[in-house]
Amino acid sequence: MSEVRTRLAAASGQRLFWPLVVLVVLIAANTAYRPSFVSIEVKDGHLYGSLVDIVRLSAPLILVALGMTLVIATGGIDLSVGSVCAIAGSMACLHISQAADQNSLSTLFTALGLALGLALVAGAWNGLLVSVIGIQPIIATLILMVAGRGLAQLITEGQIITINSDPYRVIGAGYWLTLPVAILIAIAVTLLIAVLTRRTALGLIIEAVGGNAEASRLAGIRARRITFLVYVIAGICAAVAGFMITADVSSAAGSTAGLWIELDAILAVVIGGTSLAGGRFSLSGTLIGALIIQTLTTTVYAMNISPQTSLLFKAVVVIVVCLIQAPAFRARFARRRPPATPTVAAAPQKEQVPA
């Protein structure tokens, strides 16, 4: 018994323990409400069920949040990702809609290339403002957040562009080996970023820049170059997310595609345990954070919680997640119980640096 308790206590000290608990509780609550929530069947040769929907719909958010994690790790923030989603999605759809054969692969790749190019420019613009000119990230990216939305509407001419392209549709609504293509792309990008940051020194360097840009520069790190790089990565991630969002409904609306996704992404990063102050970051935490947010949204629909109360419901869950993750709150909570474990004391140890 005591062994179980010790083990549980050790697990609860892990950074990802509580977000995972919340995710499981959410899914359990849905299952209690409607047992078929967790059932997954095969329909038309692909998996079909609410859980599959959650995973598929969270793919764009995962991508945006991954880019955001790296930006936040350098102590920055990128508010423009939602607008970049809209720009990239609109550009791709515009090109496809003008093509003679919307189903041809060459049209698809030209469209994706054009849109990625635009996103690259957008990311580089943010990176330039922040790293070279030295504008505060929140203001630098606010410019593109506002102007980018206008640019996206300029691309679509204020209309909704409807396209009829099967290969493009696959990105957002297609299946490969019974799995949604969107989530496969998201997994691939996650692995790529994980390998880049955790198997090379890049992750450490990003954390160093986020911890103290000046100190890392003096230590020989090209801090500016790293800062520039993370904004470009965030831009590209946002563009791919934009493809998924527009492909899901085979249409691009400049005014609504990816609207407010930057806020969801920041929330996902925070729920995942990455500090907004920069420094340490957790990719798996962000992944879980994004899944929690999408599960919340789907829960509202599945349980038919009225739209007037759904925002409050979401807010309460998010507050609970953030509170149980806060060491100070858990310490206060734990003190009421017999001090069975040193879990709480262990948490701040990561701050200690051997002299």
**Footprint of another protein (CB under 8 A):** 34, 36-37, 43-44, 48-50, 53, 57, 75, 134-136, 139-140, 142-143, 146-147, 150, 153, 157-160, 162, 173, 210, 212-214, 245, 248-251, 253, 255-257, 278, 297-298, 300-304, 306-308, 310
At position 215, the amino acid (one-letter code) is A
Compute the least distance from the CB of residue 39 to another protein, in Å: 9
Output 13 or 49, the one with its CB closest to another protein.
49
Chain mean position to CA 299:
19
Compute the least distance from the CB of residue 268 to another protein, in Å: 17
Output 114 or 142, the one with its CB closest to another protein.
142
Output 173 or 324, the one with its CB closest to another protein.
173
Compute the least distance from the CB of residue 110 to another protein, in Å: 24
Q: How many CB atoms lie under 10 A from the CB of residue 311?
A: 11
DSSP H stretches of helix in the chain: 2-13, 17-33, 50-73, 81-98, 105-127, 137-156, 166-173, 181-198, 202-211, 213-218, 223-248, 261-271, 283-302, 307-325, 327-335, 343-346
Output 80 or 343, the one with its CB closest to another protein.
80
Compute the least distance from the CB of residue 210 to another protein, in Å: 8
Provide DSSP, 77-113.
--TTHHHHHHHHHHHHHHHHHHSS-TT-HHHHHHHHH
Output 269 or 344, the one with its CB closest to another protein.
269
Compute the least distance from the CB of residue 170 to another protein, in Å: 13
Asked if 59 and 242 touch (Cβ cutoff 8 Å), the reply is: no
At position 344, the amino acid (one-letter code) is V
